[in-house]
Amino acid sequence: MNRRRNLRNKKKSIDDKPIPGSKPEATFFYFSKQKKEASIQILREQGITDLRGLPLQGAIQKIAGATWRHLSEERKNYWKDRVYKEWEANGGVEKARLEEERKKRVKASKPNKDDDIRQL
C-alpha cells in the first residue's frame, strides 16, 4: 500500500513522458489514415454498410494491409518520404532534438546502479 501512496505522491516532471511527434509516424499507419476514405468506399461497394466503431476500424485495416502488401518498394518509399516530409513540416526535427535533451536529463537524474554497489 505504501508503494501505491508513493506513486501517487510522486511529483510529475515534464521529463516523465516522451515528447509527442519526436519520431515520424509509422509509414503503414500514415498510409492507412490517408486511404481511410478509399477503404470505406470499397466496403460500401461490397455492400458492407452496417459496420461502426472497432469492427469498422478492423475492416479498414484489413483492406489497408492487403493494399500495402501489394505495393512495390518504390511506392512504399514514396509513402515513407511523404511521412518524413510531413513530420519535418510539423516541427519534427526540433521535437526530436528536444526529446534527445529530455532523455539525457532523465539519464543524468537517475542514480547509477554501479554507484549503489560501491557504497556497500
Whether residue 71 is predicted with pLDDT greater than 90 in this model: the reply is yes
Give how far the C-alpha of residue 20 lies from the chain's centroid of Cα atoms, to the nearest Å. 8
Q: Which residue has the higher pLDDT, 4 or 100?
A: 100
| CB half-sphere exposure, 25, CA atoms < 13 A | 16
Residue ranges of the domains in the chain?
25-108
Instruction: Give the span between the Cα atoms of 101 and 19, in whole angstroms.
Output: 10
Measured CA to CA, the distance from residue 85 to residue 17 in angstroms comes to 25
State the DSSP code for 22: S
Give, rounded to a whole angstrom, the gap between the first and last alpha carbons of the chain: 28
Say whether pTM exceeds 0.85: no
The confidence score (pLDDT) of residue 4 equals: 60
